[in-house]
Structure 1
Amino acid sequence: MFWWVRFIIFSGISLFFLEFGIEEMIRAYQVKHPGEFLASFFSSSFIILISGTLFVAFIWRMVSHFKEGKEP
């Protein structure tokens, strides 16, 4: 039971950072200075990439354990 709760919490945290990255991407397009735009754009892209990958990995792992029918 603790395993499921842990991975649900991890998935929620990764969704939070995914939303944060999307919001940062939207803010990047409102910046006027080109250097600040590049820094904000690439940092938000990196946040979106990492958090999206982690979210997919956590869901994949939960689904595979659910299909196997075993408790970790």
Structure 2
Amino acid sequence: MKYYWWPLQTGLVLLSLFFLIFGVDLLMGAYSLKDPFSFIMTFFAACLIILISLTLFAGFIIRMVGVYKQLKNNTIKETKR
């Protein structure tokens, strides 16, 4: 399982970036709608997609940095012995 952790996290980061781009594209598309109700619903849906994808992106990056620092500290401690 430990060998699949980094590719899995990288895949999740890329997936969150895909949804971020999708949300921005949806937000830009909302401005071309003529119906006010459709505009409001699409606008808020796009904002929610962007918010969730940014939150997940930040969470995955923070987790990856934390694990990298922990692995680096363990390697330094082992070489000092």
Indicate the TM-score class for this superposition, using the shorter chain for normalisation.
Answer: over 0.9
Give the structure 1 partner of residue 6 of structure 2.
4
Give me the whole-angstrom Cα distance separating, in 1, the residues matched to 2:21 and 2:58: 14
Give the structure 2 partner of residue 22 of structure 1.
24
Give me the whole-angstrom Cα distance separating, in 1, the residues matched to 2:62 and 2:24: 22
Matched, 1:56 2:41: no
Q: TM (normalized to structure 1)? A: 0.93
Per chain length, whose mean CA-contact separation is higher, i.e. which structure has more relative contact order (CA < 8 Å, sep 6+)?
A: 1
Give me the whole-angstrom Cα distance separating, in 1, the residues matched to 2:34 and 2:65: 44
- Which one-letter code corresponds to 1:19 in the other structure? I
Shift of 1:32: 1.0
Identity across aligned pairs (percent)?
Answer: 43
Give me the whole-angstrom Cα distance separating, in 2, the residues matched to 1:63 and 1:32: 45
Q: TM (normalized to structure 2)? A: 0.83
Give me the whole-angstrom Cα distance separating, in 2, the residues matched to 1:2 and 1:34: 46
**Number of equivalenced pairs:** 70
> Which residues of structure 2 form unaligned runs of 5+?
75-81
- Runs of 4+ displaced beyond 3 Å: none
Give me the whole-angstrom Cα distance separating, in 2, the residues matched to 1:33 and 1:2: 47
Instruction: Describe the superposition over 1:12-32 as per-residue Cα deviations: whole angstroms up to 9, x where unpaired.
Output: 000000000000000011111
